[in-house]
Amino acid sequence: MNINSYTSGSSPAERAASAFGSLALPSHLSLERLVNVVEGVRQRPIEIEVAGFLNGGSVCGLWLSTDEVEVILHAVSPSGLHRQQFVLHELGHMVLRHDELVVPVDYVGVLFPNLSASLVRRVLARTSFSDELEATAESLADLFAAAIRNSAREPRSFEKVFG
What pTM does this model have?
0.76
Domain boundaries, the chain: 11-151
Per-residue pLDDT at 101? 67
Residue 5's Cβ-count burial label (10 Å; 0-12, 13-18, 19+) is: middle
Per-residue pLDDT at 58? 73
Residue 89's Cβ-count burial label (10 Å; 0-12, 13-18, 19+) is: buried
**DSSP, residue by residue, 107-163:** HHHHH-TTS-HHHHHHHHHHHT--HHHHHHHHHHHHHHHHHHHHHHHS--HHHHHH-
Note the residue count of the chain.
163
- One digit per residue, the tens of pLDDT, for the chain of length 163 reads 444 455 555 899 999 999 999 998 998 999 999 999 999 999 999 999 998 888 767 788 889 888 899 999 999 988 889 899 999 999 999 999 988 765 555 555 655 567 676 666 555 554 444 688 889 999 999 999 999 999 876 555 444 444 4
